Structure 1
Amino acid sequence: MRRLPVFFVIDCSESMVGKPIEAVQDGIDFIMSNLRTDPYALETVYISLIAYAGIVRTLVPLTELFAYRDCELPLGGGTHLGKALDHLGKEIDRSVMKTTAEVKGDWKPIVYLFSDGRPTDDYEDAIQRFKAKYDNKVTVIALGLGQDVDFSILKKLTEHCIALDQMDQDYIKGLCKWISASVVSQSISVGQNLDKQDLLPLDERYMHLAKQKLTFRKSQADDRTVTFVGRCQKLHHPYILKYSRNLHYSGLSDLNINVYNFKLDTCEAISEDYFSWTDQTAEKPKINTSVLEGWSNCPHCHAETAFAMCACGNLMCYDGYSELVICPWCQRQISFESSGGDFDLSRGQG
């Protein structure tokens, strides 16, 4: 039986923290459980799951659908799309069976690539390499999650670019219903010895073909999201603060004067795995606290603030009254004083 390989390549960058990554996790689980109810899919579909952040790893190698086991999506700093494409190419070469004189190989693989922003690595050469080798051998469908996706980049990779304007549970589930229906449709086609991979009609309530070509300034960090990693002073467990770009002031329309800052979106506990998924060699840009709005309690011990900085430059939580505390990063004994001044702080890549 010829197989239908389906690759899910998931953006697990730190800008996905909170509800976005939870919604995608639920969506992937929904796709798998839904596909298992279809006899055509069970007979032909093989699934692989690849996650990319500051590094890229295969979470599930190409596996028969019934044998697929749910796995937890990670979180890390950076959005290395270029490395993800190189890694995907190696996985395709390694696991997809080619047609020979003796045997017919697998059906044309389908790739669903999820992204919520733009790459933070050198992606141009990787896109060219992937296109040169796999353009007619693989169907790539790029799924842009939210309003900050740079489709000018994704359109260099594939003509199939689908936009989701929101990233809540309903929108992600609507997208994943469409994906599962698409995979079932394709499995039926290959079951009838047809190699047809046209896109199914989109549910316009949740998604649409991306026509706009927004271009963002190229940098080593996300322009629309600012993230910081701290540690609980009492328990030493890590957490992440995510700030999203916010229109702070809008002047007269004819002057076109807009002032933006970054407003606190969420503060979430994270696991130590975050550091293994983060590119530790990447440049750590700085941002001034004057453009940040909002604060949070520590998600671990519920201390008064999760935004206290040690002299070592790292964030920790602080209960607001202890005279001396131990920094969970550098282990030095320190004391805090309230300061009304702004300061520069290293941020994540997003």
Structure 2
Amino acid sequence: MFEPRVNPDNPEPRAACALLLDTSASMGGRPIAELNAGLQVFADDIKENTLARKRAEVCVVTFGGRAQRVSEFQEAQHFQAPMLTAGGATPLAEAILLGLSEIEQQKNAYKQNGLEYFRPWMVIMSDGTPTDSDSTIRQAVDALRAAQARKAITVFPIGVGDEADMAFLSTLSTARPAAAMRDVKSFAKFFEWLSVSMAQVSVSNTQVSSDAGLEQSVQVALPPTDEWRSA
């Protein structure tokens, strides 16, 4: 079984972020090109913060035809943006279950190594409607909402373009409705926002003890979303 990588020589508390990215056929052409460019912006920007580059850890899960982990959790200073391609259906629920598993394994690795950590983030970006079976969708939504009820994760659903199922995406977060991205040209601005947001969380003085029960949230003011979000 896959064991998340944790650098035991880095004693800094960790801020894990799982990126669940739609790579279905509808993302072909300009959307996937803009998504790849945005990921590269994120990879470059987050390395600029001397503390966040050691504390933030990033994992990428894609869902296009099938859900798969294309980049395992690793410190931001080592994160290389994967080159994504588009094709297939939209198994979003399968990706959620995989993302939850990846986060749980990573948290277990932190605990085993005596590392403190911030509440993990899950960013879910989709331009359509999930094509999973009804039972898989129910399982994924229930598991995601249960994790949030335990204060074990913070979820940011993002709808891309006019065909995104904003109603479904909004069911994924218990704290906020899904945000609509202005257009695919906004991917770069979104990932700039994410880089700054992760950096702000990473430099916070509030972290979760490795032996904590309910995980505590980090109350930091995130930057405005005006540059990438639809009104």
Alignment check: 8 A CA contact 2:90 2:129 kept = yes
Query: Cα deviations across residues 167-206 of structure 1 (Å, max 9, x unaligned)?
Result: 22xx2222222111111111111xx235525562434243
Which protein has the bigger helix share? 2
Q: Is 1:116–2:94 an aligned residue pair?
A: no
- Indicate how the Cα distance of structure 1 residues 53 and 100 shifts in structure 2: closer, same or farther if over 3 A, else same: closer
What code does the residue aligned with 2:179 have?
Answer: I
The partner residue of 2:96 within 76, 85, 99 is 85
The partner residue of 1:58 within 69, 72, 90 is 69
* Aligned residue number for residue 45 of structure 1: 56
Q: Is 1:180–2:191 an aligned residue pair?
A: no
Write the mapping of 1:1-350 to structure 2, written as runs, cut at 5 A.
1-97=12-108, 103=114, 105-122=116-133, 123-135=137-149, 136-158=151-173, 159-168=176-185, 171-189=186-204, 192-193=205-206, 195-197=217-219, 200-208=222-230
* Aligned residue number for residue 9 of structure 2: none
How much has 1:22 moved relative to structure 2?
Answer: 0.4
What code does the residue aligned with 1:164 have?
Answer: M
How much has 1:151 moved relative to structure 2?
Answer: 1.3
How much has 1:119 moved relative to structure 2?
Answer: 0.8
Alignment check: 8 A CA contact 1:98 1:106 kept = no
The farther-off stretch of 120-129 and 107-116 is 120-129
Which residues of structure 1 form unaligned runs of 5+?
210-350
Query: Cα deviations across residues 136-166 of structure 1 (Å, max 9, x unaligned)?
Result: 2101101111121111111111125211132
- Indicate how the Cα distance of structure 1 residues 69 and 163 shifts in structure 2: closer, same or farther if over 3 A, else same: same
What code does the residue aligned with 1:95 have?
Answer: Q
How much has 1:84 moved relative to structure 2?
Answer: 0.6
What code does the residue aligned with 2:222 have?
Answer: L
Alignment check: 8 A CA contact 1:97 1:106 kept = no
Tell me how many residue pairs correspond in the alignment: 205
Q: Distance in 1 between matches of 2:44 and 2:159?
A: 23
- Indicate how the Cα distance of structure 1 residues 205 and 36 shifts in structure 2: closer, same or farther if over 3 A, else same: closer
Which protein has the bigger strand share? 1
- Indicate how the Cα distance of structure 1 residues 198 and 127 shifts in structure 2: closer, same or farther if over 3 A, else same: farther
* Stretches of 4+ aligned residues off by more than 4 angstroms: 98-102
Alignment check: 8 A CA contact 1:202 1:208 kept = no
How much has 1:55 moved relative to structure 2?
Answer: 0.6
Q: Distance in 2 between matches of 1:103 and 1:146?
A: 42
How much has 1:126 moved relative to structure 2?
Answer: 1.4
Alignment check: 8 A CA contact 2:22 2:62 kept = yes
Alignment check: 8 A CA contact 2:118 2:218 kept = no
Q: TM-score, normalised by structure 1?
A: 0.54
Q: Distance in 2 between matches of 1:56 and 1:108?
A: 24
Q: Secondary structure at the match of 2:41?
A: helix
RMSD, aligned α-carbons: 2.2
Q: Secondary structure at the match of 1:204?
A: coil
